[in-house]
Each structure stands twice: as structure tokens, then as C-alpha cells.
Amino acid sequence: MSAANLAQSVGRELPYLRRYARALTGSQKAGDNYAAATLEAILSDRSVLDGENDTRIGLFRAFHAIWQSSGEPVEEIELSAREKGAQDRLRKLTPNSREALLLRTIEELRYDQIAHIMEISQPEAEELIQIALNEMSDSIAGRIMVIEDETIIAMDLKGIVQAMGHNVTGVARTHSAAIELADSERPDLILADIQLADGSSGIDAVNDLLHDLGEIPVIFITAFPDRLLTGDRPEPAFLISKPYNEEQVRSAVSQAMFFATTEGLEV
């Protein structure tokens, strides 16, 4: 593959690597540091991708080599109290379990692809995913706000998170309704669509909520993921594409709540 074709191919997959890295680290900055380090490794030694028929799998495999050798953010960054607490909890989980779970649920990779990326056997990959599901199911229960204008989807999301043991503070269909709902009960997590009923923006609603309420984890569930994978603005650590499945939502909610502050939450 020529240098130009390689750059084009890697460029197509980079937004999804950044999505995965952010979900894995719980931080846009830390995740992007890892993604940048992966690109630097490939640019300095193109043989990293030799023998890979699928650029995406090769890119994720190169990322994991760096992730496994580092174990900490590639560049020293200042972490918030929430992020420090989350990192402490991460160290107590079974090694490699969250990686396997995210590759399966958020990136929707096959078990054999996950095994190849992580350089383990397929049965090991399957076992790690089950371990992660068990460990993450014991995560903190909290208050979740849903910002979604489609009634059927809103009710589906509400049912999924309630079945996980969380309390849904309510469903908002517009920007103004989201602000009012947050004023009545502060959420610990926000599930949000991008396009809302009155033509308003879920992104703007979330930004206003975070400005007023402070640091709260957000999961965007949208048919327009490209709008949040540009790298040009602050981006959520968790992003699910529509159509979604229940396993994706459960995984993302568990991960996001894991990174949430423990203050005021039920354990």
C-alpha cells in the first residue's frame, strides 16, 4: 500500500480509534494522547501494519501494543478528582476485561478480531468479556436523564437503564425541557440525542447543562456520530451510533457510571 493510500485508509478509521480510546480512558485528552501515539508509531514504522488485511484491525492492534506497554496516559496530564478516582477503580478490575468489552459492544468487533487485536485466544477474549460484564454490573447506581425526542427510543432507553438499577429523572424532548428537568433533579449521567424535537441541538443542551451543573458523564446516542468525531471541539467519552442494541447501551452506561463521581450516589 502506498503512503498516500495508507494515510487515507488510516484516516477513515481514526475517528473510531479515538472513540474507543476515549471510552477506555474516560477522558478525551488521555484517549487522544493514545491515538496520537499510535499514529506516530505507524508513521515511524509502517511495518506495524504489515500482514493486516483490515486497516481498522491493524490500527487497533497497534494501539493495544502501546496501551499494554504504557498502562498510564502517554503524556502526563492533569486529572480531575473524578478521573483520578476512576483510574483508581480501574486498577482493581480484571486486566484487559474492559478493553475486550468495549471492542465487542461499542466497536462491534467479532470475538476472533478482538483476540487478534489483544493477542490472546478467542476463548480468552470471550471469557474476558463475560468477566467485564459481571464486574461492571456491580457499578454505582445513580440518576440518569434522557434527552431524546423519539418517544419509542426514549422509552426503550428508560427501560434499559431502569432494569440496570438506575433511576431515570425524566425524558426531555427539547433543549429548554432538558434545562428545566435538570433544575428539578440533578442527574449523575446524561443520555442524549443530537437532533431534538423543536430543531434544537442536543449538543448545545448538554453543553449548557455541563456549564451549569459541572462535570457529569454524557453518552450521546445518535444517527450522526460523525458530528462528534471531528476532533474540533470537546467531545464525549462515550458515543453510540443508532441503531443501537441493548448490550451497547448497558455497556456504555456501566462504563460511564464507573467514571462518575461517587458523591451522592448509591453504592
- Tens of pLDDT, residues 74-117: 444 455 565 566 566 666 778 889 899 889 988 889 999 999 99
Q: How many Cβ atoms sit within 10 Å of the Cβ of residue 199?
A: 9
For the chain, where are the E strands, in sequence order? 143-147, 167-172, 189-192, 218-222, 238-241
Answer whether 0.85 is exceeded by the pTM.
Answer: no
Q: How many Cβ atoms sit within 10 Å of the Cβ of residue 234?
A: 10
Q: Using the 8-state DSSP alphabet, how is residue 79 labeled?
A: P
CA-to-CA dists, residue 86 to 143, 255, 260, 262, angstroms: 18, 10, 7, 10
- Tens of pLDDT, residues 187-243: 999 999 988 988 888 889 999 998 888 878 899 998 877 777 665 555 666 888 889
C-alpha 147/C-alpha 171 separation (Å) is: 6
Q: What is the pLDDT of residue 262?
A: 37
Type of residue numbered 77: I
Torsion of CA 111, 224, 199, 219, to 10 degrees: 40
- Tens of pLDDT, residues 112-159: 999 999 999 999 999 999 898 787 666 667 899 999 999 999 999 999
Contact indicator for 264, 188 with CB cutoff of 8 Å: yes
Average pLDDT, the chain: 83
CA-to-CA dists, residue 184 to 27, 145, 154, 175, 196, angstroms: 28, 11, 19, 15, 20
Q: Is the pLDDT of residue 7 over 90?
A: no
- Tens of pLDDT, residues 155-174: 999 999 999 889 999 999 99
